[in-house]
Structure 1
Amino acid sequence: MLKQKLNFVALIVLVLILVGMSSTVPASALNKQDRKIVVFSNTTDENQVDEILKKHDTEKIKNLPSINGVVVNLSKDNKLRDQKEVKYIEDDFVVSINKKTTNIPEIPPSTVSQIIPWGIEYMEAPQYWGVSNTDNVKIGIVDTGIDLDHPDLVKNIKGGFNAIRNNKSANDDNGHGTHVAGIIAASMNEIGVVGMVPDADIYAIKALDSNGDGYVSDIIEGIDWAIKNDLDILNMSISTTNNSESLHDIVKKANDAGIIMVAAAGNNYGGASEFPATYPEVVSVGAIDENGSIADFSALEGVDVYAPGVDIYSTYLSNGYLSMSGTSMAAPHYTGKLCAELIESE
């Protein structure tokens, strides 16, 4: 009888273990469908694409007309791959921000007299102020959005686009994009900080969510919006270790449209520059500290230039200010420099 009770208890324990194991299985392992970017031949129009997807019972998430593609949920055994009209299929990878650390808590602008952060001084930005008419240059910031009401930025924000939810604003719900925006174009207005080009026109292109993550397809939509709206420079303080043919396709289209693109090299402690920074059409920016030394966290291989990226004080959410480090902070310093130089060359 005791043996039977012990066997029963053992059975209950085994069932509980199995239930516990099943609850820890990643959602991706339970879901047999994967999020993919499908790019079709140039001769395949939208109606034909829809018919092909319907034929293969494939769920479409969004269109990517700029590369004649779509984002879909695709099962591993789906025969869509065998369609002759399909040019290529790849994963819709996740792209993330390149912030490394957060050091100083928010400080309301009312308690802060305007300062020139060390990175702005290091890049010799003040020499351009009042000389270059940088409000003729349109700078897009592909990021988590921008705090659209921040008093140090509101004057320079001229528009935006939300690639995640097209019917929503490009307002920042993370803080990273607002910080990047302040490095580029915080106003000269006696509060907070001053950016590299304090009178430049900036555009918030929200392609990353509140966690600082976004799909490659969202980045593609954001870059496409920049092309259609005739932007001059794009700052992309984002990266992924995965190469994406579709991302490179839209980058090449932006380059052909005359857009200068700058991206964070990555915070991989001496590794290779990541994507999209490593594409030949993009300027890859690594980080240096206040002494001009390369930051220990910065990528090294394939980096084109270095700019300030350690303890960078800039704008943040809720009308605040924050210090951050990362190649994310280095890229906008160089973007601002290119903006000023672009005007000087005209």
Structure 2
Amino acid sequence: MHARGRLAGAIMSITMLGGLGAAALPGAASATEPAQNYLVFYKDGGRDAAQRAAEAAGGTVQGRDDKLGYLVVRASDPERIGADPSVVGVTLDRPIGKAAGAPVASAARPVDHAAGGAARRAPGGDPLSDRQWDMKMIGATPAGSYAKMRGSHKVLVGVIDTGVDGKHPDIAPNFNRALSRNFVIDQPTDENGKQLDGPCEHKGCKDPADVDDDGHGTHVASTIGSPINGLGVSGVAPDVSLVNLRAGTDSGFFFLKPTMDALEYAADVGVDVVNMSFYVDPWTFNCAANPGDTTRESLEQRGILEGMRRAVKYARAHGVTMISAIGNEGLDLGKPKTDASSPDYPKGHEKKRTIDNTCLNVPAELDGVISVSSVGPSGRKAPYSDYGVEQTDIAAPGGDMFDSGTGLQGASREILAAAPENVMRAKGLIDAAGKPKTSSVIRECHDGKCAYYQYMEGTSMAAPHVTGVAALIIGRFGKPGKGGLQMDPAQVERLLYATATPKGCPTPRTHRYGTGETQLCEGPGAKNGFFGHGLVDAARAATVSP
């Protein structure tokens, strides 16, 4: 489902700065607080003034990023620094956000193709292609886009997520190990001493750049670009290069700085398109000036907004097309009223506050980012998917366990994609012999090589379908450039919308789901709050004229 945010690699060679020391309670201020690391965002031309303000407040500058305009400052009085007119925002550099998208198990019999016979192979596809209703919905099939365009290894697709299992047999052929990076250091415990990521598996608590201990990022990468190789599933763009831009810790939490670093790195090495199935926390909605927030809380949210805006602007200016999941709360993002889940890190600090449309979920609501809503196998908007006339740009299949009437049952209504074996074992989803214990997991073997696949649902699963189609477009029309091919993100966006299948609001516009929940779809057929410009279409994108 919709993950939250995380990443690595900085402009300067400085140590990863996350989770250092105990985090102060939100809004608390005390001269006796321990010093912690803050990201101090300054106005244009205000770097020197911001540094003087930091030093005057007793802070020490640890590093800086001149491209995105911020200092890394170790200080104990962020409010004093934030009071200086040269400073735009001050954000604690800490884990923020949590990956969602846990699989939903079905009561049906577990599926194990290694033990129960071979799966029916779709002609021209892979053994599990017949289970990929999502690919059929968008025309990513042997008779559709695969016949015309499968992407190009020159197209670099960045996956900003919890990591990518680069050794997975259905990922490895397209995995770009040379460019992949891990921008985070795992944290065994949180600030309260409770287990967070657990024991470190690697030196310095930093996993290699081909590891995913959560499973979310691998699932996303598989939907984008699993190869057609006679094993498992096929991705939307089965011939592209997948670049792991890991921003998430093992527990699925994200840092603001690593997220910015990932976007900056993607821009600098020539990545063409990135998938961002997360939101940056600890605030579900970031408000620049909410009357109910303390000075420190407002400074933190302004820092997140400013930092992400700058990172997005930098990446887009360097040719990176950015795709984001819209969110999984079933909310009209154009009419938010309350936020009761923020700040969600560390746990126990949440408060209920009144908000309005000036408060933003990022990166989904930022200019320059394409936001994706989710539909189930019948094509209806999934009840969990956020929406909004201003916020929804395009729709894609993301799964819906409760979408009946299609002949599919239980977990098969969700999205099937690659899963790391180590995660399946850690979560108890397979037994000691490797046999799946739930229908949400499939083991598929071919020529002595076995791999695992998992059903999941969420806008996190919808976004990579759009990312894959964007990669097809860049493969067709991109020009030689840094890293491989390059294409103006504005042109990619235009073609994504032009080739989408128009989809108007349901009748009546107020749609009632089986749970009794109602959601109102507003806007015309050409651009509405449920489906944006329509349902993404790989087949049309593979054949459209520029």
Shorter-chain-normalised TM-score: which range?
Answer: 0.7 to 0.9
Secondary structure at the counterpart of residue 97 of structure 1: coil
Counterpart of 2:87 in structure 1 is 86
After superposition, residues 190-201 of structure 1 pair within 5 angstroms as 190-201=230-241
C-alpha deviation, 1:39, in angstroms: 1.5
Task: Indicate the residue corresponding to 1:338 in structure 2.
Answer: 470
Query: Does residue 237 in structure 1 map to residue 277 in structure 2?
Result: yes
Distance 1:125 1:248 in 2: 33
- Residue 145 of structure 1 aligns to a residue whose secondary structure is coil
- Residues 296-321 of structure 1, C-alpha deviation per residue, up to 9 Å, x if partnerless? 10001121111111111100112421
1:121 to 136, 140, 150: 136
Could you report, residue by residue, the CA deviation over 1:164-200 in whole angstroms, capped at 9, with x for unpaired residues?
Answer: 1496522211110001001001111111111111111
* Within-5 A mapping of 1:270-289: 270-272=331-333, 274-289=361-376
Mapped partners of 1:55, 1:85: distance in 2: 13
Deviations for 1:91-144, whole angstroms, at most 9, x for unmatched residues?
557233352643379978856652121111111112222532422211100000
Structure 2 counterparts to residues 135-174 of structure 1, below 5 A: 135-158=153-176, 159-165=179-185, 168-170=207-209, 171-174=211-214
* Separation of aligned partners in 2, 1:279 and 1:145: 23
What is the correspondence of 1:253-272 to structure 2 with a 5 Å cutoff? 253-272=314-333
Written as runs of structure 1 = structure 2, the 5 A alignment for 1:286-305 is 286-301=373-388, 302-305=391-394
- What do residues 46-68 of structure 1 show as CA deviations (whole Å, max 9, x unaligned)? 9x977765554336676444312
Q: 1:168 to 1:130 in 2, by over 3 A?
A: same
Normalised by the length of structure 1, the TM-score is 0.81
Instruction: Say whether the 8 Å CA contact 1:32–1:76 is kept in structure 2.
Output: no
The answer to whether residue 180 in structure 2 is matched with residue 179 in structure 1 is no
Change (3 A) 1:198 1:103: farther
Q: Could you say if the C-alpha distance between residues 222 and 329 of structure 1 is closer, same or farther in structure 2, counting changes exceeding 3 Å?
A: same
Q: CA deviation at 1:263?
A: 0.3
| Gap change, CA 1:107 and 1:207, over 3 Å in 2 | farther
| Residue 528 (structure 2) aligns with | none
**Match among 325, 328, 339 for residue 460 of structure 2:** 328
Compare 219-228 and 92-101 and name the one that shifted more: 92-101
C-alpha distance in 1, partners of 2:104/2:71? 37
* Counterparts of residues 7-86 of structure 1 (less than 5 Å): 28-29=24-25, 36-43=38-45, 53=54, 56-58=57-59, 63-72=64-73, 74-76=75-77, 79-83=80-84, 85-86=86-87
Asked if the contact 1:61/1:73 (under 8 Å) is kept, the reply is yes
2:236 and 2:246 map into 1 onto residues whose CA distance is 21
Contact 2:50/2:84 (8 A) holds in 1:
no
What is the TM-score normalised by the length of structure 2? 0.53
> Which is worse superposed, 204-213 or 162-171?
162-171
In structure 2, C-alpha distance between the alignment counterparts of 1:88 and 1:57, rounded to whole Å: 18
* CA distance 1:161–1:79, change in 2 (3 Å): same
Q: In structure 1, how many angstroms separate the alpha carbons of the residues matched to 2:113 and 2:362? A: 35
3-state SS in 2 of match to 1:129: helix
- Say whether the 8 Å CA contact 2:373–2:394 is kept in structure 1: yes
Change (3 A) 1:324 1:33: farther
* Letter in structure 2 aligned against 1:57: G
| Greater share of helix | 1
Higher share in strand: 1
Distance 1:56-1:236 versus aligned 2 partners, 3 A rule: same
Would the aligned equivalents of 1:61 and 1:72 in 2 still touch at CA under 8 Å? Answer: yes
Could you tell me whether the CA contact under 8 Å between 1:161 and 1:225 is conserved in 2? no
Deviation sequence 1:189-241 (CA, Å, 0-9, x none): 11111111111111001101112110121110110110111111010000142
CA separation of 1:145/1:28 partners in 2, compared to 1, >3 Å: closer, same or farther?
Answer: same
- Is contact 1:143-1:236 (8 Å) kept? yes
Aligned to 2:251: 211
User: Deviation string for 1:270-317 (max 9, x for gaps)?
Assistant: 331832111120110011000001101000112111111111110011
Q: Structure 1 109/340 Cα, relative in aligned 2: closer, same or farther at 3 Å?
A: farther
1:308 match: 397
- Tell me the residue number matched to 1:102: 104
Tell me the CA shift for residue 32 of structure 1. Answer: 6.4
SS at match of 1:102: coil
Q: Distance in 1 between matches of 2:331 and 2:82?
A: 38
Partner Cα separation in structure 2 for residue 109 and residue 225 of structure 1: 40
8 Å CA contact retained: 1:264, 1:286: yes
RMSD of aligned Cα (Å) = 3.1
Q: Say whether the 8 Å CA contact 1:186–1:194 is kept in structure 2.
A: yes
Distance 1:275 1:81, change over 3 A: closer
Which deviates further from its counterpart, 72-81 or 115-124? 72-81
Percent sequence identity over matched residues? 25
SS of residue matched to 1:134: coil
Unaligned runs of 5+ in 2: 1-21, 120-126, 186-203, 287-304, 335-360, 400-413, 422-450, 479-546
Deviates more, 1:264-273 or 1:109-118: 109-118
Q: Which has the larger radius of gyration?
A: 1
